Amino acid sequence: MKESTPANSRTTEKAMTGDTPAPIDLDSSEFYLNRELTWLAFNRRVLHEAKDDRVPLLERVFFVAVVGSNLDEFFMKRIGGLKQQVGAGLKKPSIDGMLPAEQIDACYQTVNELFTEQRQIERELRARLAEEGIRFTGYDQLSQKQKKKLDEYFKYEIFPLLTPQGIDPAHPFPFISNLSLNLLVSSSEIDSDQLHLNRIKVPLGVGIPRFIQIGDDHLYITFEELMANNLDDLFPGMTIHSCEFFRVTRNAITEHRDGANDLLAMIESALRERKFADIIRLQVDADMIPLHRGRLAAELDIDEHKDVFDEPGIMAKRDLMEICKIDRADLHYPIHHPCDHPQLVSEEPNIFHILRNQKSILLQHPYESFETTVERFLKEASIDPKVLVIKMTLYRTSSDSRIIQYLIDAAQNGKQVAVVVELMARFDESANIKWAETLEQAGIHVTYGVVGLKTHSKVIFVVRRDYYGLQRYAHIGTGNYHSGTARQYSDLGLLTCDPQICEDLTELFNYLTTGYAPARNYQKILPSPHILKKSLLIKIKREMELHSPNSPGLIQFKSNALEDKDITKALYAASEAGVKVNLIIRDSCRLRPGVEGVSDNITVISIVGRFLEHARIYYFRNGGDEEYFIGSADLMKRNLESRVEVVTPVENKMLQAKLREVFDVQLGNQRSVWDMQPNGTYVKRTPAPGDDDRTVQEILIERAEKRLAKSQADRKKLKKQGKSASRKRN
């Protein structure tokens, strides 16, 4: 399958002067794709999973819901930011040569294509669900008995929650909250031509599902459909002329006061401002009365022709997540149970003793259990009497987090606990404020990192008094300390007691808790904002210098995004020098592979599947002395220059082999992979006859299970040999 061409792609030709090629200007905008359009292209690849018959039916519904959620966030963050730039009169083009207004227009064209495709898939999936006995119904299609039961449910469970708000000269247009679903009701008194407009908010999130089940069968009616057919209770004695649905999206970009004295107060203020931020999108019924459509656009102060989107089918498709949870095992992926890590399945009960013997252990989630690795590490640290200090960075965590409880347990057990909480983790600000308050109430030292920088690193640091003195242990990861996403995201982590890495982390936490960085010397880790980008550029240049026919250069990166111009330009230069570059980039990618004379030696692939690819790996052949790094940083300007990130080397040859396996499986797969073309489009690979037709993630699940099984078999064999030797001695 091939994608349509992004709006800002151009065909590159070598400029010729006679027979001599003109120098290639790697700063030219033609070599850089637009960030927003390439991110939307990623969502097209996600939506393709919803069309794939090989994907279980309810999982296909899940992908439709994911794209709905992603596009909501895209409007809030990316379109919201571009509209702010337009409002500020910004005339500077982005590195791909597009002005903010041009980017919005191009994005809207692509978004409308995505919406059309999403609606078509929704219709197809609803038909397929009906064949499986999962049906959506309108109120009019119900029997009298079903209607009566639902009407009673409405009267006692929903009606008291509703607040009709008049829209007339005596009642100013009501405030419409972000992503809320609303009814616009037109009514009149009997024998009167005077029409009245009222807005009613659908009170989602109050314990009533968006899709209300009727009886014991899988028959569902939407919350708003039930409301729309019980309006007589809300407007007694009135004639209802129309009932239409609408939904608004507000700008989420409100961080603009980095100089505030109190960071906590600043974030709380920003959250209040976000609640009342400008509206950037209005979604309406496709058959909404034109007068009502225009009235809403005018009241909400948006462009009726550009910012109003017709929404046939189910509005707010992110709520289809509820349908994905229907308990039908035959319509889901086979249940995946993460394995225990082979190196941590030991008769030795103390994880610190295991780590001291193993030195470093590489974790691969969700293939290996987050609970029996990372959570175990923190749990044992919280109760081990020899552990004196625990330090940690916290960007996101789950609402039922055991991580928080273990930190509180540690403080109550007399340990010194310090947590760097990132208050500006987008859309998790309120949760993180609450976590910070909870931790402080438990006596934990809470700081908010360095002013002006987000703390995006994933680090747990433990100091323990071992037999030979103080010993430091650490976990450095690519994903958040969130048990939910640890089951859904593909991530990596390193448990280590490497002395130099741990000394580096001592420096890092001193920086995070003081905010000062005078001459901090790091021996192994590559933190941003001051070291990581510079180090990557140096290593790319070194690869060019070491490249030769007898020792060819090779760079392989796996990242969520490649947006930074300097890194992109350096990779182009490496390709021109003959270095092979393999990039596994999940979503946004500014680089154009396969451009003659510029990126002939570069390949870019994207992998979409059951789990969200979230790990970051950086590999350099380095003349045969190979280097592998993992960490929290993507190849984006914000990550490299405006965030505190940690990337760590993985030096053990056995652990490097595990990372090599990830690269080889992903680069060679024929089922999950999309190949990026020079013009920025993507083509999905199709397994040929005889090819392994499993997804990347199916293969890695099997590999993890085999590693554990082999480890268990080896232990049994050693135990049996030990017993046999003991009998011979006796």
Active site (catalytic) residues: 456
> CA–CA separation, 36 vs 333, rounded Å?
31
Burial of 103 (0-12, 13-18, 19+ CB in 10 A): buried
> CA–CA separation, 488 vs 529, rounded Å?
29
* Closest among 526, 524, 480 to 502, alpha carbons compared: 524
> If residue 66 lies in a helix (H) or strand (E), which one and from where to where?
helix 57-74
* Closest among 113, 116, 36 to 79, alpha carbons compared: 36
Instruction: Supply 498's token pair.
Output: 């490497």
E-strand stretches of 318-409: 360-365, 387-394
Q: How many CB atoms sit inside 10 A of residue 263's CB?
A: 16
Helix (H, G, I), strand (E, B) or coil at 617: strand
> CA–CA separation, 615 vs 696, rounded Å?
14
* Closest among 634, 639, 632, 650 to 457, alpha carbons compared: 632
> CA–CA separation, 125 vs 552, rounded Å?
49
Instruction: Supply 491's token pair.
Output: 């991530």
> CA–CA separation, 238 vs 589, rounded Å?
56
Orientation angle between helical segments 80-87 and 100-131, nearest 10 degrees: 160
Place of tokens 């070194």: 542
Amino acid type, 225: E
> CA–CA separation, 522 vs 185, rounded Å?
64
The CA distances from residue 384 to 351, 410, 416, 419, 465, in Å, are 10, 9, 13, 19, 10
Orientation angle between helical segments 429-441 and 263-275, nearest 10 degrees: 150
> CA–CA separation, 318 vs 300, rounded Å?
23
What is the phi/psi pair of residue 197, to 5°? -105, 135
First to last CA, the chain: 69
The answer to whether 697 touches 490, Cβ cutoff 8 Å, is yes
Instruction: Supply 637's token pair.
Output: 């300007």
What is the phi/psi pair of residue 483, to 5°? -65, -30
Instruction: Supply 482's token pair.
Output: 């969130």
The CA distances from residue 692 to 48, 178, 298, 475, 664, in Å, are 20, 46, 56, 35, 14
The answer to whether 491 touches 617, Cβ cutoff 8 Å, is no
The answer to whether 656 touches 650, Cβ cutoff 8 Å, is yes
Which residues partner with 186 through β-bridges? Answer: 197, 242
Pairing outcome for strands 387-394 and 459-466: antiparallel
Place of tokens 């980095």: 258
Which residues partner with 627 through β-bridges? Answer: 620
> CA–CA separation, 360 vs 9, rounded Å?
45
Amino acid type, 691: D
The answer to whether 377 touches 402, Cβ cutoff 8 Å, is no
* Closest among 334, 373, 374 to 702, alpha carbons compared: 334
